Copies of this chain bind each other. A is one copy, B any other.
Amino acid sequence: MDDSVLEALVIENKSKIVLLVLDGLGDIPDAARGGRTPLGAARKPNLDAITPGSALGRILPVAPGITPGSGPGHLALFGYDPIQVVVGRGVLEALGAGMPLQRGDVAARANFCTIDPQGVVVDRRAGRIASDVSAKLVEKLAKETGRIDDVEVILKAGKQHRFVALFRGPGLAGDVTDADPHHEGVPIPDVRPLDESAAGQKTAHIVNRFVARAKDVLQREKVANAALVRGVSARPHFPGYLERFKLRAAAIAAYPMYRGVAELAGMSVLPVGDTPADAFALARERWNDFDYFFIHVKATDMAGEDGNFDAKVAAIETVDAALPALLALEPDVLCVTGDHSTPVPAKAHSWHPVPVLVHGHLCGADHSPQFNEKSACAGSLGDLRSRDLMAVLLANALRLDKYGA
């Protein structure tokens, strides 16, 4: 269904919706654990208490077989089509680095490399130099390239050889090629605009100047003597929660990437501590200021990425232990799910559908004794695209008018 059809049905009321995202929640049965998943194995008495009265189901973040990154995974949960609404690599990297983006900003992923005297790239990652060494190079580079024409250049060091380059100035665009040959043995290519626009031409010119300046600044450095730039992209602008859903939305997320994506969706991003207890306490504190709360928990995904079953169980149990504070707020609709699966045996994001639980007075109780991948598969919500979950939550909050007479 076209977004505009949904948005035309949105009505306002006093209800409160909470979307509690356990990042990477979904998993696959682990034979070594009796075929259980971390969600199935976790002791979660508080979640168990509301599960029989909840509707269960599964969500598919992008499409069958597609493993989503964190950007598309969250955009879909926020009700955007992750194929249509694209956030560029550079922008995601900047958001993940906690760099506030203004409208018109262009961001890129960058990293140090080594080139030979003829300018040929000999090591695209400069031997994966240590983060602290790299940070000093970024500092030096930033000092020497503070401004190119009317464009401010803001750099932020990342892990090892990586850093983020942010270009802020009038008339920039994201549609340019990479200053990165993507393999060794050739020189760094010039950046070219992908269209005829003046903004593309200007951006290509600025990025090329930046790459040239980096060569100058770094020429006497031993560990890295040049920089590559890729994934140049403009901060996207699309209608946010207030405009689309008439919801005053708050994001309670400790990690920059999720704060950034939530900010793109028009949420108010609240400063918060690291634990679920911190997050729920903040929700309580700001309960009257918002209609919708996106609460993000990172630990489940990290445990999945580490292939650590017990750590993922513990992360879920920590959320459950803190849950009474959230339940005490009596949200009209509570949804517990993930942005994607990060199965312990995969040690990475995956394409598997993600279990979802929706609790509300008209959700249609499934009377399932437990919330896990298997019960979710049999749940009354069925299999949904993640981007359709938002409509289900609005419906449960009685925030959608009837379609047609």
Residues on A close to B: CB < 8 A?
1-2, 5-6, 9, 28-29, 31, 35, 53, 58, 62-73, 82-83, 86-87, 89, 92-93, 96, 343, 345-346, 349-353, 361-367, 373-374, 377-380, 382-385, 388-395, 400-405
Cβ–Cβ < 8 Å partners of A82 in chain B = 403-404
A352–B364 contact, CB under 8 A? Answer: yes
Residue on B nearest A34 in the bound complex, by CB: B367
Query: Given A64-B392, A68-B403, 15 other A-B contacts at CB below 8 A?
Result: A5-B83, A6-B66, A28-B362, A28-B363, A29-B367, A35-B367, A66-B391, A66-B395, A70-B404, A72-B404, A82-B403, A86-B404, A92-B405, A345-B362, A350-B362
Q: Are B383 and A380 in contact (CB under 8 A)?
A: no
A380, B353: Cβ atoms closer than 8 Å: yes
Contacts of A391 in B (CB 8 A): 63-66, 351
Q: Kindly state the separation between the CA atoms of A73 and B404 in the bound complex, as whole angstroms.
A: 9
A60 to chain B: closest residue by CB: B382
How far in angstroms is the closest Cβ of chain B from A280? 26
Assess whether B400 is in contact with A67, with CB atoms less than 8 Å apart: yes
Contacting pair B383 A382 (CB below 8 A): yes
Stoichiometry, copies per complex: 2
Instruction: Please state if B29 and A62 are interface contacts (CB–CB under 8 Å).
Output: no
With A5-B83, A86-B404, A351-B392 already in contact, the answer to whether A365 and B67 are too (CB < 8 A) is no
Q: Which of B5, B66, B343 is A400 in contact with, Cβ under 8 Å?
A: B66
- Kindly state the separation between the CA atoms of A11 and B68 in the bound complex, as whole angstroms: 15
Q: Are B402 and A67 in contact (CB under 8 A)?
A: yes
Contact A1-B364, Cβ < 8 Å, known A69-B405, A72-B403: no
Q: How far is the CA of A87 from the CA of B382 in the complex (A)?
A: 29
In the A-B complex, the 8 residue pairs with the closest CB atoms:
A65-B391, A28-B364, A69-B404, A65-B395, A72-B404, A64-B388, A1-B63, A65-B392
A11 to chain B, nearest CB (A): 11
Q: Looking at the complex, which one of B69, B83, B400 makes contact with A402 (CB distance below 8 Å)?
A: B69
Output the least CB separation between A290 and chain B (Å): 21
Report whether A349 and B87 are in contact in the complex, using a CB–CB cutoff of 8 Å: no
Docked-complex contact B382 and A377, CB < 8 angstroms: yes
Which B residues are in CB contact (< 8 Å) with A83? 1-2, 5
Inside 8 A of A5's CB, which chain B residues have their CB? 83
Interchain CA distance A73-B405 in the complex, whole Å:
9
Q: Which residues of B contact A379 (CB under 8 A)?
A: 377
> What residues of chain B lie closer than 8 Å to A366, measured between beta carbons?
29
Can you show 8 pairs from A to B with CB atoms below 8 A apart? Answer: A1-B63, A64-B388, A65-B390, A65-B391, A67-B403, A70-B404, A82-B403, A382-B383
